[in-house]
Every structure is written in C-alpha cells, then in structure tokens.
C-alpha cells in the first residue's frame, strides 16, 4: 500500500493531510508514504522532516495521484484533482458533497472509494473527525465577526464587549453543537450578550448548566430565529444535519430587516449555509454585503490557522488512516461501522443516504458493496 499526500490547492489552504508524526505512524507499520514536495512548508513542516519520518518525495500532484493507492487530503478535491482519481483508489478527506453536485458527479465518474471525514461517526456519538475543525472554526467565528464589525471592514463600528457605560453587542449563535459551543465560549469571553438557539433542548440544558443566566438559550424555530437575528450585531450559523444540505433558517427577508452594518458568519457554508443570502467565499476575499449586512462565508476557515488545524485534524484522522492502509478499504470498512459511515461514494455508487437524497442519486448501502 502506497499512501500519497498532495499539496492542498484550495485558496489560502495551507493545511496538509499528514504531519511528519502521522507519516511515522504509517511507515513504522511498513506502509509506504509519498508526499508532494513543499506540501507542509507554509506551516513549518519541511520536506526534510517528512523524509526523516520515512516518506519519499514527489515532484508534482500528478505523480502523487498517479502512484498512490490511497490519497490523504484535507479539503474536497478540486476539479483537476478529481480528474486524477482512478477506479478503486481510496480518497480520505473532507468532501461536503450534498451542496456540491459537480464534485459528486466527478467522484462518481472516477470510480474511487471516497471516504468523507465529516460523516465518520464515533463510538461516543458525534462526528469526531469534524469536531476539531469545528472547534477551530467556532472560535474563529467570533474573532472574524468582531473584526468585521469594525468600520474599516464595513461593519457598524461596534466593540462586542462594550465599555463601562455603553452596552455590549449581541451575539446570536444558531446551532449549539461543536461550532456553536466554541463560538459561545469565545463570545462570553469578549463580554458580549449571547443568545444560543438549537432544536436539541438537551444541548441547551447542558449549556444552561455551564453558563447559567450569563447566556440566553432558545428553542430554534422560525419565530425565535427571526426575533434573535433582528436584534443581533453578530449572527453565527453553526447548524448541521449530518451529510445533508444545511437548512436555510435565516431568510432573505430577515436579512433585509437586520441592523445595517451587522455581521453574519455562516460557518455551515461548507454544507451550503444556513442563511438564504450566503454563498461560499475565500480567505482572499472573505466577505460580501447583502442589504447592508456583512456576510463572512469562508468554507475553509481553519485553513487560516493551518498549523494548529493540521495537528488537531491529524489527531482525529490518523487512527482510521492506519486502519485503511494496513487492512485495505474493504476489511477496514467491514470491521468498523463508524468508518463505514464515512463512505460517501464507492466505485461509481453514492453510499450516503442524505447525499443521494439531496442530489437525486440512487442510494446504495455501503454494506452491499463490501461483501
């Protein structure tokens, strides 16, 4: 088995699929690893560190894709990467297929075995390979939002925490999962007034126990969302229905009635976004304005703090990478239902129900392809 790590090519994406310590986890088990030259250099991971960990170097992405049996990446493959995938090759990375019909069609056409980090489940519940990046993005959502509330960035000119004698800003967080909880932690730290909404009342109960009357919790429905966002200075979208396109919870009409110069940070944009007015942006040009409201919709927020993010991601991905590389995909998926839940596309079939439903493909259960 040869594991290949190409350099990421998405805009301002400096994360890398495997760190040198992760490479060592593989090479010490007899797995060969090839890394594209310079893949980690932007975050201080040199080619020398990779070769010291037992990897060989390749001069181009084409070389990595052409030779490797399994590709380990961070972001969804871009069109030129999809074109390099082949029948039976394993692709292990974030995919976010439900809002992305072009990528889905390209992966189906490739015949590759495509395992999405974001739908792999954990024995304790949750999505353990999404969680570390959601921690990063949730924390970043407050700093990105606070920065764009400044006048020079187009915002209304508001300091989230206020000062003595002047009221604090109001942060509204929709979705109280990993993104929401991490945003909440940072928002409370700034001194802002915070409202959190979720459909899961148990989740709101847990937050209430931790933060008491320092925050307001609201059951998420159209009425509560409307009231909260109309009063918000900063609104964060962190909802998720695993694997599916995000529900559009904040309508264009609500946006048009928000305060002028307010900011929305749609973290859920990688699943299509939960604000009707959102579309994906990049770190190079992160915002746009609709009806006087600044929209920050960067689909790879953790890429901005790529060193922290790469190590946090590798902590979560390396276990399954070792299983796939040492057992092969069929046995690894057969033996582990949680890893199997990550299989989204396999040899031309869509094997994740929500993706098949949202994009109009026949759903083929993973089990039926493993026997």
Does the footprint of ligand CC(=O)C(=O)O cover residue 300 (CB under 6 A)?
Answer: yes
CB of 276 to ligand NAI, least distance (A): 14
Partner whose binding site includes residue 100, from ligand CC(=O)C(=O)O, Mg ion, ligand NAI, none (CB under 5 to 8 Å by kind) = Mg ion
Nearest to 120 by CA among 338, 365, 317, 370: 338
CB of 279 to ligand NAI, least distance (A): 13
User: From CA 77, how far away is CA 110, in angstroms rounded?
Assistant: 12
Does the footprint of ligand NAI cover residue 229 (CB under 6 A)?
Answer: no
Does the footprint of ligand NAI cover residue 179 (CB under 6 A)?
Answer: yes
Does the footprint of ligand CC(=O)C(=O)O cover residue 302 (CB under 6 A)?
Answer: yes
Instruction: Indicate which single residue of 218, 240, 245, 350 sits in contact with ligand NAI (rule: CB under 6 A).
Output: 240
Question: Residue 203 CB: number of other CB atoms within 10 A?
Answer: 17
Region near ligand NAI per CB under 6 A, out of 66-74, 107-115, 153-161, 300-308: 300-308
The answer to whether the CB of 136 falls within 8 A of the CB of 312 is yes
* Binding residues for ligand CC(=O)C(=O)O, total number by CB under 6 A: 7
Instruction: Indicate which single residue of 158, 207, 258, 301 sits in contact with ligand NAI (rule: CB under 6 A).
Output: 301
Does the footprint of ligand CC(=O)C(=O)O cover residue 133 (CB under 6 A)?
Answer: yes
267 Cα distance to chain centroid = 8
Q: Which position's Cβ is nearest ligand NAI?
A: 177
CA 27, 30, 35: angle at the middle one, nearest 5?
Answer: 40
Q: Which is nearer to ligand CC(=O)C(=O)O, 195 or 344 (CB)?
A: 344
Instruction: Indicate which single residue of 74, 120, 133, 228 sits in contact with ligand NAI (rule: CB under 6 A).
Output: 133
The answer to whether the CB of 175 falls within 8 A of the CB of 197 is yes
From 100, 266, 270, 336, active-site residue:
270
Question: Six-digit token pair at 200?
Answer: 């899961």
Does the footprint of ligand NAI cover residue 247 (CB under 6 A)?
Answer: yes
Q: Which is nearer to ligand CC(=O)C(=O)O, 204 or 299 (CB)?
A: 299
User: From CA 161, how far away is CA 158, in angstroms rounded?
Assistant: 9
CB of 126 to Mg ion, least distance (A): 22
Residues within window 29-88 making contact with ligand CC(=O)C(=O)O, judged by CB under 6 A: 75
Residues within window 250-279 making contact with ligand NAI, judged by CB under 6 A: 267-271
Partner whose binding site includes residue 338, from ligand CC(=O)C(=O)O, Mg ion, ligand NAI, none (CB under 5 to 8 Å by kind) = none
Residue by residue, DSSP assigns 179-241 as HHHHHHHHHHHHT-EEEEEES-HHHHHHHHHHHGGGEEEEE-SHHHHHHHHHH-SEEEE----
* Binding residues for ligand NAI, total number by CB under 6 A: 36
CA 160, 219, 230: angle at the middle one, nearest 5?
Answer: 45
Could you give the residue ranges of the DSSP H alpha helices within the chain?
Answer: 20-27, 47-52, 61-67, 79-82, 101-110, 131-148, 178-190, 201-211, 222-231, 252-256, 306-327, 329-335, 337-340, 353-359
Let me know if 270 is a catalytic residue: yes
Nearest to 198 by CA among 178, 173, 215: 173
Nearest to 122 by CA among 317, 302, 268: 317
Let me know if 266 is a catalytic residue: no
Which chain residues interact with ligand NAI by CB under 6 A? 118, 130-131, 133-134, 137, 174-180, 197-200, 203, 220, 238-241, 246-247, 249, 267-271, 298-302
> Which residues here bind ligand CC(=O)C(=O)O, judged by CB under 6 A?
75, 94, 130, 133, 270, 300, 302
Question: Which residues are part of the catalytic machinery?
Answer: 96, 270
């Amino acid at each position: 088995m040869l594991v290949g790590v190409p350099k990421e090519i998405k805009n301002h994406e400096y994360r890398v699929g495997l760190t040198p310590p992760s490479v060592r986890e593989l090479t010490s088990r007899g797995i060969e690893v090839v890394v594209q030259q310079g893949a980690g250099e932007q975050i201080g991971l040199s080619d020398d560190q990779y070769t010291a960990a037992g990897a060989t170097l390749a001069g181009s992405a084409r070389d990595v894709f052409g030779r490797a049996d399994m590709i380990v990446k961070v972001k969804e493959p871009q069109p030129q990467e999809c074109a390099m995938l082949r029948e039976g090759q394993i692709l292990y990375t974030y995919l976010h297929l439900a809002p992305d019909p072009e990528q889905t069609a390209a992966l189906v056409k490739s015949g590759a075995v495509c395992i999405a980090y974001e739908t792999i489940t954990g024995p304790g519940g949750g999505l353990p390979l999404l969680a570390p990046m959601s921690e990063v993005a949730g924390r970043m959502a407050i700093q990105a939002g606070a920065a764009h509330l400044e006048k020079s960035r187009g915002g209304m000119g508001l300091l989230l925490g206020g000062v003595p004698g002047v009221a604090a800003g109001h942060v509204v967080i929709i979705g109280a999962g990993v993104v929401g909880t991490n945003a909440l932690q940072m928002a409370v730290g700034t001194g802002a007034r915070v409202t959190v909404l979720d459909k899961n009342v148990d989740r709101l109960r847990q937050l209430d126990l931790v933060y008491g009357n320092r925050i307001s919790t609201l059951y998420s429905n159209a009425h509560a969302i409307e009231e909260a966002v109309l009063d918000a200075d900063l609104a964060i979208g962190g909802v998720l229905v695993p694997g599916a396109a995000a529900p559009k919870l904040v309508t264009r009409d609500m946006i048009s009635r928000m305060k002028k110069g307010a900011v929305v940070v749609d973290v859920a944009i990688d699943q299509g976004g939960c604000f009707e007015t959102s579309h994906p942006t990049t770190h190079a040009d992160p915002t746009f304005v609709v009806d006087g409201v600044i929209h920050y919709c960067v689909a790879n927020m953790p890429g901005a703090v790529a060193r922290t993010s790469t190590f946090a991601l590798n902590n979560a991905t390396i276990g399954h990478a070792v299983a796939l590389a040492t057992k092969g995909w069929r046995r690894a998926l057969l033996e582990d239902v949680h890893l199997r839940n990550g299989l989204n596309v396999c040899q031309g079939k869509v094997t994740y129900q929500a993706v098949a439903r949202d994009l109009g493909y026949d759903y083929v259960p993973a089990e039926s392809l493993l026997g």
